[in-house]
Structure 1
Amino acid sequence: MTTPSFHPLTIRECRRETADTVSIAFDVPADLADRFRFVQGQYLTLKTRIGDEEVRRSYSICSGVGEGELRVAVKKVDGGLFSTHANQSLAPGAVLEVMTPMGRFHTPIAPDAARTYVAFAAGSGITPVMSILKTVLAQEPKSRFVLVYGNRTVSSIIFREELEDLKNRYIGRLVIHHVLSREPEEAGLLGGRIGAGLVRELCAGPLKAEDIDAAFLCGPQPMVEEVRDALAACGTPPANIHVELFGTTTSARPAAKMAATDTPTDAATIAILQDGKRKEFTLAYDGESILDAAHRHGADLPYSCKSGVCCTCRAKIREGKVEMAENYSLEPWEVEAGYVLTCQSRPLTERVVIDFDAA
């Protein structure tokens, strides 16, 4: 596995999508084309300096595989340092440090398959869904896609015109339900919010929950969890439901210190494996996260959100045990296989070996 790495990329285009959202397309040099080859639903971590501060943020790719471009969308949020900078200051010709694509918010494409895909997205949660939707429709000609997309008003619908064009291009294969929370109902648009009630209503119609081959949920944590539980209750196999958050409602908590009888030493020995090299240091059981400690000891490990959402700091435990304070991005099979989010991990044993080179 190639370790994620940053590369300077020049912005080719900044396109205004809504009043508070801009999409950014990058030029990718030929010698980096393979490194920036992506799978639908993946994301990029962008890094720059704003004033005296280094800022890193992760944004989902909105391009379809095969479209020939690398593009992300950035929605301005109140108090958002990078999102404000992107919407107000970035322009073609500017250079950002961009990490190679990451993320597993997707299922493999099967050109001969005839599948039913469903996506529930809110606001900027449409970004990875656009990549998935466009790729599926282009590369699985027998499959169909149902999109339920929530926004406040018509004017806040990101990619509105592009979605309409796609619906016209893939008549009979793409169904879009717009849900507006702060605007009177218009013809063809639903009022209210995306939640369990809407899921049950849709599944009582022509969309049968048990027939959903893949459901993609992207948005704020409460919506994602409510829709996930409602789909499962209606009969969608939990293994077919895939989630991605763009925010959480909880804050990370420190791991509890182990009893002296379990850990006779005051600190654990941590070994980091990266790019075929090894770095060791000690870390108190109730101290900082393994990621933060590793950076303090000179390791240049990948990270972005540090809140357990983006999965950029994912690595595999080769020896020992850790406790994760939060996990919003690892799949159950990954946890079972020994993968952890190092930004949320603290040691539980005297020795922990963590492999960043593991696939």
Structure 2
Amino acid sequence: MTAARHGAFHPLTVTEVERLTDDSVALTLRVPPELREEYRHAPGQHLTLRRGSATGTEVRRTYSICSPAPASDGPGPEWLRVGVRLVEGGEFSTFAHKEIAAGDVLEVMVPAGRFVLDPAAAPDAAHYAAVVGGSGITPVLSIAATLLAARPDARFCLVRSDRTAASTMFLEEVADLKDRYPERFQLVTVLSREEQEAGLPSGRLDEERLTALLPALLPVAEVAGWFLCGPYGLVQGAGRALRALEVPRTRTHEEVFHVEDAATAPSATAAATASATASAARAGSGPSSRVTARLDGRSGTWPVRDGESLLDAVLRNRADAPYACKGGVCGTCRAFLVTGEVRMDRNFALEEEETDAGFVLACQSHPVTDEVEIDFDR
């Protein structure tokens, strides 16, 4: 089987547009037989959708797959389902809510992302858990459904936070998991702006609250993996709570869906931050750096313009370079830094282990040295 190209898009037909809440919909996409292997995905991965805009520019947005992943020994998926929450002023989410209808054809990139769980690699009688907020339920729904179906001895605890019951996405799907696996699926719901008749009191799930709540729900030390997904504040608070509970960093997986405060963005690495001064000193002197990039087995070397990111430099010469948000959130443009030094402006996608290993976000990386080489194929 030939591996799917990183930035490859294919036309997929929308078979259903289901309204989940007043501000969210689920899109179901049909995958034709000849593309099913290319769209084989791990539970937790995402799709990038694109369309042209009135200004002539291309708009790309990334949405997590909420449908279960296909079995590794079976055929690829016949259909894919993603959840789209309306964002104020969001060009693509507005398009999805007001214009997309069954029968429409969308340009869809092959699945990507590392916020995943491999059921086959799970230890015997494994216990997993997730803390999600809002649309952060989307990839975790796929993760939980796939794991529980594939591993009859596995357990999953879902702690979800939403504003109100009416704004909660995938209520029926989560309830179905509870009905199907009553002994193995634990659900805890917290509403931040609405009191519930039963369950936990309303309010935000912050670090202090989670530090007290999680040990009361499950044996924290025995959980094989934690999946944190949603707004930046929730993910960071949950991460701090787990560290306070002495959960090893290697057991936590994070995916940010919305960044409330860019000023709190984590830097790439200490070395890259320390090199920022050298990069700034060269600004205004014209394109004095070059980037060599390897993508789908082919390499090229091109100049990097003053102030330009490595991704933009590559895109001027390789339109198939993978990217989606260009905001340091989705991780689609992840690349391995082979040689040279770079400075990353923002990083909400790569975990500490990845940056320590040498991975960078091409959309946020600027050259510090005259020569930089990156590899999208690693």
Give the TM-score category using the shorter length: over 0.9
Q: 1:64 aligns with which of 64, 68, 84?
A: 68
The alignment's TM-score, normalised by the length of structure 2, stands at 0.88
Distance 1:25 1:266, change over 3 A: closer
Are positions 1:103 and 2:113 aligned together? yes
What does the per-residue CA deviation read over 1:138-177, in whole Å, with 9 as the maximum and x for residues that have no partner? 1121111111111111111111122112101101111111
Coordinate RMSD, CA, aligned: 2.3
1:259 is displaced (CA, Å) by 8.2
What does the per-residue CA deviation read over 1:300-350, in whole Å, with 9 as the maximum and x for residues that have no partner? 311111111101111122222222222221233322332211001111222
Are positions 1:47 and 2:50 aligned together? yes
Partner AA of 2:337 in structure 1? I
SS in 1 for 2:159: strand
SS in 1 for 2:97: helix
Q: Which residue of 2 aligns with 1:181?
A: 192
Gaps of 5+ in 2: 71-76, 268-272
Partner AA of 1:95 in structure 2? V
**Alignment partners' CA distance in 2, 1:259 and 1:228:** 33
Partner AA of 2:292 in structure 1? A
Q: Which residue of 1 aligns with 2:331?
A: 311
**Alignment partners' CA distance in 1, 2:171 and 2:156:** 17
**Alignment partners' CA distance in 1, 2:205 and 2:252:** 16
SS in 1 for 2:139: helix
Matches within 5 A, 1:87-236: 87-110=97-120, 113-236=124-247
Q: Which moved more, 1:97-106 or 1:2-11?
A: 2-11
Q: Which moved more, 1:132-141 or 1:291-300?
A: 291-300
Q: 2:90 aligns with which of 75, 80, 89?
A: 80
Does structure 2 retain, via aligned residues, the 8 Å contact 1:179–1:192? yes
Q: Which residue of 1 aligns with 2:297?
A: 276
Gaps of 5+ in 1: none
Are positions 1:19 and 2:31 aligned together? no
1:293 is displaced (CA, Å) by 2.1
Partner AA of 1:22 in structure 2? V
**Alignment partners' CA distance in 1, 2:316 and 2:277:** 22
**Alignment partners' CA distance in 1, 2:245 and 2:107:** 44
Does structure 2 retain, via aligned residues, the 8 Å contact 1:150–1:180? yes
**Alignment partners' CA distance in 2, 1:19 and 1:266:** 48
1:51 is displaced (CA, Å) by 2.6
**Alignment partners' CA distance in 2, 1:295 and 1:21:** 32
**Alignment partners' CA distance in 2, 1:41 and 1:176:** 19
1:256 is displaced (CA, Å) by 3.9
The alignment's TM-score, normalised by the length of structure 1, stands at 0.92
**Alignment partners' CA distance in 2, 1:265 and 1:54:** 27
Matches within 5 A, 1:296-335: 296-335=316-355
**Alignment partners' CA distance in 1, 2:338 and 2:210:** 41
SS in 2 for 1:336: helix
1:102 is displaced (CA, Å) by 0.3
1:298 is displaced (CA, Å) by 4.9
**Alignment partners' CA distance in 1, 2:162 and 2:281:** 52
Q: 1:250 aligns with which of 251, 256, 262?
A: 262
1:106 is displaced (CA, Å) by 1.6
